[in-house]
Amino acid sequence: MEARLTIHTEQGMGTISKRLYGYFSEHLGRCIYEGTWVGEDSEIPNIEGIRTDVIEALRGLGIPVLRWPGGLFADTYHWRDGVGPRQERQPIVNVFWGGNAESNQFGTHEYFRLCELLGCEPYLAVNMGSGSIQEMADWIEYLTYDGDSRMTKLRRANGRENPWKLKYIGIGNEAWGGGGKMRPEYYADEFRRYACYCRSFAKEPFYKVACGPYGGDTHWTEVLLERAGDMIDGMSLHYYTQREPHRGRATGFGEDFWFDHMELAWKMDQFLTDQDRVMSRYDPRKRIGLIVDEWGTSFEQEEGTNPRFLEQQNTLLDALVACIHLNAFNEHNDRVHMANLAQTVNVIQAVLLTKGPQMIKTPTYHVMEMFRPHHQAERVAINLRSPLYAYHGHTVQALTASVSRHQSDELFVTLGNCDPYCDVWLDVEAGAPARLCEGRVLTDSIWDAHNTFEDPDRLHPVPFDQVETTESGCRILLPAKSVTALRLTLAQ
Ligand code: AHR
């Protein structure tokens, strides 16, 4: 089967923000507790209570931004519960996620410390659902004010002298659902009111993210932008790659499940196109960013785990889903300002799984790492002619691609082949012979191949050299169900 990737090396398409490779960590199941926070007295190696292995692994991804504390949890979170001496903090009920006690041991100071340790930007979701404007304003003052005030005295008494740096702030989460069951008209008015009092005390103004729609719902977008577009910097978009009504397990599936997930993953590209079209009616200059602050696969929970903890294995299927999403985000870099994988550790499409002191990297981790050279690189325009992957009368594009560069003569190419059976020869046309500098591929003979605590390295990227130089570029053999990352140098 033949395919062609034409790279228009002369056409730069703007920077691919590193924030397209962001993450989301919620107080949900074992994402924060156990997965990230173990406490200073834990036998698990930690830095000020935060797992050392997790810090190191996330640093390996160049994690740019971390959204916290939810999700649905954010709309039940009252920040004062999570500051002050830890032994005096009172538990609350985590009503959305299992109804168990939330100890509040991990709060504002711990989160900002985590961001410092990771070298990433914070992205706070404030409580609009069950909180108040005053509560939000107090939090902002506590975080960003430098002078003397009731809030800064409290912050200092709690051990932090200087304000933190904070730019990204989300106002409400899924306001159309668990975050208040609002109509878009009502939410737009509420957003205006909250945004009025959501002022940073630092020099740099906040980047305010309004709650946007789910998937392809453009009605919410229309109403929101018409009524509040002038006050919005970014609009969120949530979409999970999940089969309804039976989500199915992450492992042990057949081709129908594989195909469905590829089809569901490809929808993201269409949603970005559709949302951008509507946004452009109100914002033709693309000032307002689309912030895909929840995306990822969602399966039934692993056997023996709490159904509200959303724990799932992560296989080659997740790797392909991630690849399709990330290439789509890159290709929409003029509108998408940020994207946050849901979630970071132990929950939904996690990059890391933990069991006691053990930690493993999932196939999704490897994809995020393989794509890292795209961070802050210049996207290069492409045309992709791809074969179709057909299943029972339905088809999806088999290949996905994205190309960027940091230096004029070196291209970075990420490719996915979601056809589980067909290897594809891809002709790369770049206008000059292309030499492979470095290539890696993630694949396996089994579509639900995954890493386990017993076999943590079953799936990892391996060197790739299936490249032949041609007069105008190169030819690459993309294995069935694979993710490939290549650095190519063009002859001058
Ligand atoms: O990521 C899990 C949940 O999914 C989030 O809390 C919520 O925003 C979404 O519905």
Q: Which two tokens stand for residue 181?
A: 């069951």
Cβ-Cβ contacts under 8 Å for 231 (sequence gap 6 or more):
191, 192, 195, 196, 208
Give the closest residue (by CA) to ligand 1 atom 4: 71
337 is written with which tokens? 């300002």
Site to substitute for ligand 1 among 127, 294, 301, most atoms within 8 A of C-beta: 294
Give the length of the chain: 492
448 three-class SS: coil
Active-site entry in 26, 102, 190, 294: 294
485 and 351, same domain (yes or no): no
Q: Are residues 352 and 422 in the same domain?
A: no
pTM over 0.95: yes
Q: Residue 129 maps to which CATH number?
A: 3.20.20.80
Q: What's the domain count of the chain?
A: 2
Q: Which CATH number characterizes residue 439's domain?
A: 2.60.40.1180
**Residue % of the chain over a pLDDT of 90:** 98
Q: How far is the CA of 12 from the centre of ligand 1 (A)?
A: 35
Is 369 in the same domain as 383?
no
pLDDT score of 127: 98
Report the separation in Å between the CA atom of 394 and the middle of ligand 1, taken as the mean of its atom positions: 30
Question: What is the CB < 6 Å shell around ligand 1?
Answer: 26, 70-72, 173-174, 294, 342-343, 348
Name the closest-CA residue to atom 7, ligand 1.
71
Confidence of residue 437 (pLDDT cuts 50, 70, 90): confident
- The answer on 92 and 28 residing in a single domain is yes
225 shares a domain with 103: yes
Catalytic residue among 174, 190, 369, 429: 174
358-361 and 352-355 strand pairing: antiparallel
Q: Which residue has the tokens 């790279």?
A: 7
**Containing structural domain, residue 318:** 17-375
Q: Over 35-98, what HEC string results?
A: CCECCCCCCCCEECCEEHHHHHHHHCCCCCEEEECCCHHHHHCCHHHHCCCHHHCCCEECCCCC
Distance 129 CA to ligand 1 centre (A): 14
| Shared domain check, 438 and 299 | no
**96 CA: nearest ligand 1 atom:** 6
Distance CA 293, CA 239 (A): 9
Question: Final residue of a domain: which of 325, 355, 375?
Answer: 375
Residues 285-308: pLDDT tens digits? 999 999 999 999 999 999 999 999
pLDDT digits (tens, 9 = 90+) for 82-107: 999 999 999 999 999 999 999 999 99
Q: Using one digit for the tens of pLDDT, what is the confidence trace for 134-177?
A: 999 999 999 999 999 999 999 999 999 999 999 999 999 999 99
174 labelled catalytic = yes
Q: Are residues 122 and 156 in the same domain?
A: yes
Claim to verify: residue 338 and residue 420 sit in the same structural domain: no
85 and 133 part of one domain:
yes
pLDDT average, residue stretch 395-404: 98
Are 28 and 451 in contact, with CB atoms under 8 Å apart?
no
The DSSP bridge partners found for residue 124 are 68, 169
The Å distance, Cα 132 to ligand 1 centre, comes to 21
Which burial class, exposed, middle or buried, applies to 417 when counting CB atoms under 10 A from its CB (0-12, 13-18, 19+)? buried
Select from 375, 398, 413 the last residue of a domain. 375
Q: State how far the Cα of 102 lies from the Cα of 480, in Å rounded to an integer.
A: 44
**Which tokens go with 227?**
């009524």
In angstroms, the CA 80 to CA 89 distance is 9
391 in the same domain as 355? no
Both tokens of residue 129?
């659902």
Are the CB atoms for 50 and 110 separated by under 8 Å? yes
Claim to verify: residue 362 and residue 446 sit in the same structural domain: no
Q: How far is the CA of 488 from the centre of ligand 1 (A)?
A: 39
Asked if residue 149 and residue 63 are part of one domain, the reply reads yes
